[in-house]
């Protein structure tokens, strides 16, 4: 069993309660938001000390923190871990893969921890800036679609029919800081043709095709984009 196997049931569990759910947000496995309540879930295939430590770290960001694991067969170990989690005010969700069910064994009680306002704001900013919701909790970093990657995809899509000026790119994509993405070129998709003019590398063309299932969600409808381009 992999961590990613737990995600669909956990996502459904929180969505059924009216939460907006996103996976792999700033290294957090799952973030669930409803009104002003921010719930963080960290998943593992075993309820070990590494997971418990992760949960303690997340208490600096989220309002409530849950650990999520598959059903535990060792009753003695389970009982010992429950005692630790209650003392640390960490919630516990058991994912029953066989019966496709999630059960809250422990719910965190209301308690004011000293939180990092900066980290929480960063987490919420990433959630709010994302357009797509395709990540699966427990996925490796190389496969994640972050708000940053979404913007890179938009810029690459804009350039797929040829080079453009940074002004054209900004006007077409609506990304005001598009120049920063092009200059940093984190994924090595772009190259500078001349001052203020950029194009898509062969690598960018190939890798962009791997995200074609996101074009609709990102609003990359060709006729609309070319219409905008023709205006300028």
pLDDT tens track for 7-18: 999 999 999 999
Q: Which two tokens stand for residue 231?
A: 């205006």
Q: Please tell me the distance from the alpha carbon of residue 93 to that of residue 86, in angstroms, as a whole number.
A: 13
Model confidence at 95: pLDDT above 60: yes
* Residue ranges, CATH 3.40.1350.10, the chain: 3-118
* Residue ranges, CATH 1.10.10, the chain: 146-231
As its CATH architecture, domain 3-118 has 3-Layer(aba) Sandwich (3.40)
Q: Please tell me the distance from the alpha carbon of residue 172 to that of residue 146, in angstroms, as a whole number.
A: 21
Span 113-127, average pLDDT: 73
Q: Is the dihedral of CA 184, 157, 22, 128 positive or negative?
A: positive
- In the prediction, which pLDDT does 229 show? 52
* Top-tier CATH class for 146-231: mainly alpha
Model confidence at 144: pLDDT above 90: no
pTM: 0.60
Span 27-49, average pLDDT: 92
Model confidence at 96: pLDDT above 80: yes
Q: Please tell me the distance from the alpha carbon of residue 134 to that of residue 149, in angstroms, as a whole number.
A: 12
Span 73-85, average pLDDT: 83
Tell how strand 64-70 and strand 20-25 pair up.
unpaired
Least-confidence region, from 68-72, 85-89, 103-107, 209-213: 209-213
Query: At a CB cut-off of 8 Å and minimum separation 6, what does 218 contact?
Result: 131, 132, 150, 153, 154, 157
Which residue's entry shows tokens 């940053």?
Answer: 148
Query: At a CB cut-off of 8 Å and minimum separation 6, what does 56 contact?
Result: 88, 90
Query: Running DSSP on this structure, what letter comes out for residue 200?
Result: E
Which residue's entry shows tokens 């067969």?
Answer: 73
């Amino acid at each position: 069993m992999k961590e990613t196997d737990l995600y669909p049931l956990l996502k459904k569990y929180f969505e059924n309660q009216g939460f907006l759910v996103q996976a792999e947000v700033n290294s957090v496995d799952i973030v669930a938001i409803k009104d002003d309540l921010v719930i963080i879930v960290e998943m593992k295939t075993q309820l070990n000390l590494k997971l418990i430590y992760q949960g303690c770290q997340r208490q600096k960001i989220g309002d409530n923190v849950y650990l999520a694991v598959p059903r535990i067969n060792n009753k003695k170990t389970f009982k010992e871990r429950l005692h630790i989690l209650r003392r640390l005010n960490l919630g516990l969700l058991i994912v029953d893969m066989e019966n496709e069910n999630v059960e809250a064994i422990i719910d965190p009680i209301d308690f004011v921890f000293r939180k990092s306002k900066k980290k929480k704001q960063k987490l919420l900013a990433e959630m709010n800036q994302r357009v797509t919701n395709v990540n699966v909790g427990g996925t490796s970093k190389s496969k994640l679609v972050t708000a940053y990657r979404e913007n890179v995809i938009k810029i690459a899509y804009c350039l797929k029919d040829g080079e453009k000026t940074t002004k054209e790119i900004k006007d077409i994509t609506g990304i005001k800081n598009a120049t920063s993405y092009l200059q940093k070129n984190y994924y090595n998709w772009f190259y500078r043709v001349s001052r203020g003019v950029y194009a898509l590398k062969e690598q960018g063309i190939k890798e962009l095709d791997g995200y074609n299932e996101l074009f609709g969600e990102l609003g990359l409808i060709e006729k609309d984009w070319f219409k905008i381009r023709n205006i300028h």
